[in-house]
């Protein structure tokens, strides 16, 4: 497989207060893991800043205006419960969008089979009209809309294995059967949504909640019986992954006991899905993952699996 990785030093310039879990060191830890010779063939590209219009693929103009208003000239501004902006945060968030759409363009052009976007801030909690949970713009939703509008994708699947429910992605695609949204996550946990009976208006939302202290086996059972079963019916022509690594057992924000090999396994299953109906096309976007070692190991194996197919 040819795998692209999109990165940019601007992602380190989105500043948060001391002690905040969603911190620049997350990307530094991943970068160190990527120095291993295993990643010699990984094609690393610098993400460009995305146009503000991309935001409107998934959000209201009000939302974009309120994010722009939240950006301080200096220091750090708390503009939502646990979400902060610094002077370069808008630049970072827009560059995350730029990396995501470049990744989509590359897999549809056949320049890459798949791609990983190592950006922050993350995106999956951002609703149509509301930033939430460290997230400004819903990057994965914008990538899905871009694939539809520019590349004619007809059946986009978004698989979200971040330990927190992707409430924002669910909100954006609630009544849109052209997108299948599948999520595994811990319940009870922030943001409180993601019950099995939240199915969207056209059964295009599939939630697979996990109880606290669930093991890798529990995760794999839920992934097989709910996520993979739904994907088999849907036959996506493009697969997006909201790749959070906070279900790792070391993560401080949740109580699920996955190991890095569980993310490798799930990646392999999605490669099978994409190989069957999507001409291998997968774009994976970094969401959460707050233990530096757990994140680096898990994201490292995930990227290596994307490369090896």
**Catalytically annotated residues:** 125
Cβ atoms within 10 Å, residue 154: 10
Applying CB under 5 A, the site for Zn ion has a residue count of 5
Of 133 and 236, the one with the shorter C-beta distance to Zn ion is 133
Nearer to Zn ion, 142 or 286 (CB): 286
Among 200, 288, 294, 300, contact with Zn ion (rule: CB under 5 A):
288
The stretch among 27-35, 89-97, 111-119, 244-252 that binds Zn ion (CB under 5 A) is 244-252
Shortest Cβ contact with Zn ion: which residue?
Answer: 288
Residue from 98, 123, 236, 244 touching Zn ion (CB under 5 A): that is 244
251 scored as a contact of Zn ion (CB under 5 A): no
* Closest CB 164 distance from Zn ion, rounded Å: 4
3-state DSSP call for residue 94? helix
Let me know: does 295 contact 21? Beta carbons within 8 Å: no
Tokens of residue 91, six digits = 């630049």
Which residue's entry shows tokens 């380190």? Answer: 12
Tokens standing for residue 308: 């090896």
Q: How many residues does the chain have?
A: 309
Q: Of the candidates 246, 251, 262, 297, which one interacts with Zn ion according to CB under 5 A?
A: 246
Report in angstroms how near the CB of residue 290 gets to Zn ion at its nearest.
Answer: 8
- Residue with smaller CB distance to Zn ion, 143 or 147: 143
* Closer to Zn ion by Cβ: residue 52 or 82: 82
Nearest to 251 by CA among 172, 162, 182: 162
Q: Which of 234, 214, 121 is nearest to 168 (CA)?
A: 121
CA quadruple 85, 88, 92, 95: dihedral positive or negative?
A: positive
By beta-carbon proximity to Zn ion, the closer residue of 150 and 195 is 195
- Type and span of the H or E element at 139: helix 139-151
Distance separating alpha carbons of residues 194 and 6, to the nearest angstrom: 29
Give which of 75, 124, 105 is closest to 242, Cα–Cα: 124
User: What does the per-residue mask of binding to Zn ion show for 125-164, with x meaning CB under 5 A?
Assistant: -------------------------------------x-x
Give, as one character, the DSSP assignment of residue 47.
P
Query: Which residues form the interface with Zn ion (CB under 5 A)?
Result: 162, 164, 244, 246, 288
């Amino acid at each position: 497989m040819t795998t692209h990785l999109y990165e940019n030093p601007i992602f380190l310039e989105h500043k948060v207060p001391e002690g905040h879990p969603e911190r620049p060191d997350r990307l530094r830890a991943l970068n160190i893991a990527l120095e291993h010779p295993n990643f010699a063939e990984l094609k690393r590209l610098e993400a460009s800043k995305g146009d503000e219009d991309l935001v409107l693929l998934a959000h209201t103009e009000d939302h974009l205006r309120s994010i722009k208003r939240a950006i301080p000239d200096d220091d750090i501004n708390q503009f939502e419960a646990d979400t902060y902006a610094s002077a370069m945060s808008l630049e970072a968030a827009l560059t995350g969008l730029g990396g995501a759409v470049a990744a989509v363009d590359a897999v549809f052009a056949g320049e890459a089979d798949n791609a990983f976007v190592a950006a922050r801030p993350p995106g999956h909690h951002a609703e149509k009209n509301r930033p939430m949970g460290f997230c400004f713009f819903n990057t994965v939703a914008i990538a899905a809309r871009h694939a539809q509008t520019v590349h004619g994708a007809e059946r986009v699947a978004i698989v979200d294995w971040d330990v927190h429910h992707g409430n924002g992605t669910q909100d954006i695609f609630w009544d849109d059967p052209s997108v299948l949204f599948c999520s595994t996550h811990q319940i009870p946990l922030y943001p409180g949504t993601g019950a099995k009976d939240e199915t969207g208006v056209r059964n295009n939302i599939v939630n697979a909640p996990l109880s606290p202290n669930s093991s890798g086996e529990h995760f794999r059972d839920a992934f097989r019986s709910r996520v993979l079963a739904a994907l088999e019916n849907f036959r996506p022509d493009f697969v997006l992954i909201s790749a959070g690594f906070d279900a790792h057992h070391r993560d401080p924000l949740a109580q699920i006991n996955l190991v890095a090999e569980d993310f490798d396994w799930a990646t392999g299953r999605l490669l099978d899905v994409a190989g069957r109906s999507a001409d291998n096309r997968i774009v994976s976007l970094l969401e959460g993952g707050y233990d530096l070692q757990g994140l680096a190991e898990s994201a490292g194996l995930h990227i290596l699996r994307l490369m090896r197919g």
